[in-house]
Amino acid sequence: MSIIGWQSCILLAKQEIIHLVWFQIIASLIGVVILVFLAMRLTVYFRATRLLLQVARGSDGGQPGRYAVRITSGEYEHTPGELQPFDVYGPIGRDNAPLLVILHGATSYGEKHAIIQQLARALAAAGITVVIPRLPKLKQVLIDSTTVESIFTFYSFIQGSALAGNRPVSLMSTSFAGGFMLKALLDQRMWERPPGAILAYGSYCDLETTLRYILTGGSGDHDSEQTVEPDPWGQIIFFYNYLDEIDGDFDRSSLKAVLEFYINDRPLEGDAARQSLGRREQELAELITTPGNPDSLDLAMRVLEKVRPRLRSLSPAAFCDRINFPLWILHGKHDRAVPYTEALRLKSLLGSEAKLMVTELFGHRDLALRFNLPALKEMVLLITFIGRFLRALEQAK
């Protein structure tokens, strides 16, 4: 072979080597990109797993989260001259963490409810700044339409605060706050600075069917009927809210004062205070605080019929056609306060706008995971749902 032929062979060999090297470099870069992408996708599920375990173990047990948590407090102007408190759970060392406002349900503990605090600590340890405002009417355990304006008031406050800065504010409602949150989100003022991710946990779709469930233990859904033992606390809350709708002449203020002891988780004081009531008031107190009594249920159904128009106006079922934003819906199948069928109905009305997870692992007033080996698939689904919601918080703009 001539010298020119050898040189051509050497040149071709060099070109092949260069092509092979470049191919390896490009393939390696693609592999790195894929690995980084998978790592980023998997990281959020690891965070979700850690979050769920920490929530289940409570604030005092289990492994610490990724971040230490700092808890601070503040106040916002609820109405002119009236200040209400809020608590902030922040991950130490993470600047510009996603910001999530949690709206507490109907509970006399308000923002200090142990389960809400447990959840807030776990989220903050996972890298989320959590803010819990006090909603006065819900803290008084009152189903009152003014809570809609309370939610807007706090949302406006937090949006304009240094705490939010330029970050979007995501929202999470718990229990009875859900319907009020969804109604507040119909107000165009809420969208002047749009919220980030929005999640409703344990929320109702129809307030009337939810109250009927609380009173009777039956969800009334023929396709997916849920039946439980009625919660005595739920019956007391119902009558406490609608005492004025009971016919007859009796001292409503003194009876309501007695019921407040039960509402505030002081039943022994309530039992003692009942002794000072008049005869008619004592009879009503006995009806109200005794679940499963046919006379109590009959009275409750008559009252429920009277307040139906008010309940309709606060039910997402009545305004779902106006909800045009993505919504995450999480519900425990063992919920004794709001049946999981409410979540199914909310999803059916919202269609593709809603992402739904009904889980066997949660109830209503506890976040202890009901975990066993057959529930492994359920755990994987819940981790996936929570992981995707955490990603939505991170990506909110």
The model's pLDDT over 207-259, given as tens digits with 9 standing for 90+, comes to 999 999 999 877 555 455 556 677 778 899 999 999 999 999 999 999 999 99
- Note the pTM of the prediction, 2 decimals: 0.84
153 and 234 share one domain: no
One domain, residues 216 and 160: no
Q: In the β-sheet with 169-174, what is the strand arrangement from edge to edge?
A: 69-79, 82-91, 129-133, 99-103, 169-174, 198-201, 327-332, 354-359
User: Residue 358 falls within a domain, yes or no?
Assistant: no
CA distances from 395 to 44, 88, 162, 193, 196 (A): 12, 21, 20, 16, 8
In tens, the pLDDT along 306-353 reads 999 999 999 999 999 899 899 999 998 888 889 999 999 999 999 888
Identify whether residues 194 and 82 lie together within a single domain. yes
Whether residue 225 sits in one domain with residue 176: no
196 and 224 belong to one structural domain: no
Segment (H or E) for 47: helix 3-57
| 237 and 306 assigned to the same domain | yes
DSSP 133: E
Query: Are 88 and 155 part of one and the same domain?
Result: yes
- The boundaries of the domain holding residue 230 are 209-312
Q: What is the CATH number of the domain that holds 157?
A: 3.40.50.1820
- Residue 320 DSSP one-character state: G
Q: Which of 103, 100, 158 is nearest to 128 (CA)?
A: 100
* CB of 97 closer than 8 Å to CB of 174: no
Same domain, 186 and 213: no
Q: How far from chain centre, in Å, is Cα 70?
A: 22
The pLDDT confidence band at residue 383, using thresholds 50, 70 and 90, is confident
Examine residue 178 and state whether it is found in any structural domain, yes or no: yes
The verdict on residue 263 lying in a domain is yes
Distance (Å, whole) CA 26 – CA 215 = 66
**183: closest CA among 159, 151, 207?**
151
Q: Interior CA angle at 350 toward 346 and 171, to 5°?
A: 75
Q: Is the domain of 305 the same as that of 371?
A: no
Name the domain boundary from 312, 332, 356.
312
> Per the domain annotation, does 52 fall within a domain?
no
As for how many domains the chain has, the answer is 2
The residue-averaged pLDDT of 73-93 equals: 96
Is residue 171 domain-shared with residue 112, that is, in the same domain? yes
Residue 175 inside a domain? The answer is yes
Asked which of 272, 289, 312 is the last residue of a domain, the reply is 312
For residue range 89-131, what is the model confidence (pLDDT) as tens digits? 999 999 889 999 999 999 999 999 998 998 999 999 989 999 9
- Helices H, strands E: what count in the chain? 13, 8
